[in-house]
């Protein structure tokens, strides 16, 4: 049994189609108006999650909330019996401390452990993974070809690498994923159904996944700093802390939603707020003096480079 920790966290060309679910009073919609609650697995199929950390819990919760599978079709494994107990009690899924037991006979295997222990985990489970299974790794920096070396009986086209982010916990995440061009339509639908249960998805080249890590993987942290700084500004100008934080957070959430739903360029939306000689243009000028844009670009660049440094060679 691997002693590795579960993965708790959550990578493009002009053909990218971002799948953005509609929100509101109605059921969430997938692309082309298909219902979000369409099944991911057939009645006799099963999915296994190796690692029972926060990302596994988010995916299980998302799948069950969207009615895409039944608890009886899901199994999770983890060295930490407390995580197994939690998933078993909270979601009524099967949970075990034995990885090989979890993946045996599974149609979909999700690898959600730290990349540092994935070699060990793959070596352990390889004899039990079906050669027809779809294997999805959410371990940062771990390339598809390295997974394939351990799962030699599995076609390369059956292996997917994905990068979801932490807002997946509340089904507001975004996932970038990569696979061989020969991934079948059936497996493409499985991957899409799995990750659309926690937010929109985008398919990218595997070489782009480090940049995705630097942007959407690390991006929530940048946004939290932005919200905190906006709230601090409100407090400096006399607002109560709790009021300032609510105003800052909802402003960011609302602005992002308007951008996604309108489909307009952020610069166009910005210009609509900034009237000539007004308050907003004064604030924007202060941001430019502080190199706000350049700093954010540098943050994404630095995180991407670090992801590449931490990445495990294929």
Q: What percent of the chain has pLDDT over 90?
A: 81
Model confidence at 31: pLDDT above 70? no
Q: Can you tell me which residue has the tokens 């997917």?
A: 160
Which segment of 12-16, 58-62, 280-284 scores lowest on mean pLDDT?
12-16
Residue 38 has pLDDT above 70, yes or no: no
Given this model, what pLDDT does residue 4 score? 47
Residue 307: its pLDDT value, please?
85
Residue 312 has a pLDDT of: 63
Report pTM. 0.83
Position 13 scores a pLDDT of 38
């Amino acid at each position: 049994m691997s002693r590795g920790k579960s993965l708790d966290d959550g990578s493009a060309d002009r053909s990218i189609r971002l799948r953005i679910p509609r929100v509101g009073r109605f059921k969430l919609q997938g692309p082309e108006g298909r219902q979000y609650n369409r099944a991911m697995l057939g009645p006799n199929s099963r999915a296994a999650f190796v690692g029972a950390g926060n990302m596994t819990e988010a995916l299980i919760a998302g799948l069950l909330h969207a009615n895409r599978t039944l608890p009886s079709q899901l199994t999770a494994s983890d060295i930490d019996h407390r995580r197994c107990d939690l998933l078993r009690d909270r979601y009524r899924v099967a949970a075990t401390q034995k990885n090989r037991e979890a993946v045996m006979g599974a149609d979909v295997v999700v690898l959600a452990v730290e990349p540092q222990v994935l070699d060990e985990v793959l070596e352990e489970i390889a004899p039990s993974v079906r050669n027809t299974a779809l294997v999805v790794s959410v371990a940062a920096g771990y390339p598809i070809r390295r997974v394939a070396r351990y799962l030699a009986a599995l076609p390369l086209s059956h292996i997917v690498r994905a990068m979801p982010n932490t807002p997946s916990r509340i089904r507001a995440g975004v996932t970038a994923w990569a696979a061989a061009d020969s991934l079948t339509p059936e497996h493409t639908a499985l991957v899409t159904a799995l990750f659309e249960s926690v937010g929109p998805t985008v398919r990218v080249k595997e070489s782009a996944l480090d940049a995705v890590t630097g942007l959407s993987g690390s991006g929530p942290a940048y946004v939290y700093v932005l919200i905190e700084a906006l709230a601090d500004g409100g407090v400096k100008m006399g607002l109560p802390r709790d009021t300032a934080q609510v105003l800052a957070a909802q402003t960011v959430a609302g602005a992002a939603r308007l951008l996604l739903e309108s489909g307009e360029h952020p610069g166009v939306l910005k210009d609509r707020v900034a009237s000539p000689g007004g308050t907003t243009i004064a604030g924007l000028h202060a941001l430019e003096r502080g190199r706000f844009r350049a700093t954010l670009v540098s943050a994404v660049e630095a995180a991407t480079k670090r992801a590449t440094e931490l990445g495990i060679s294929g």
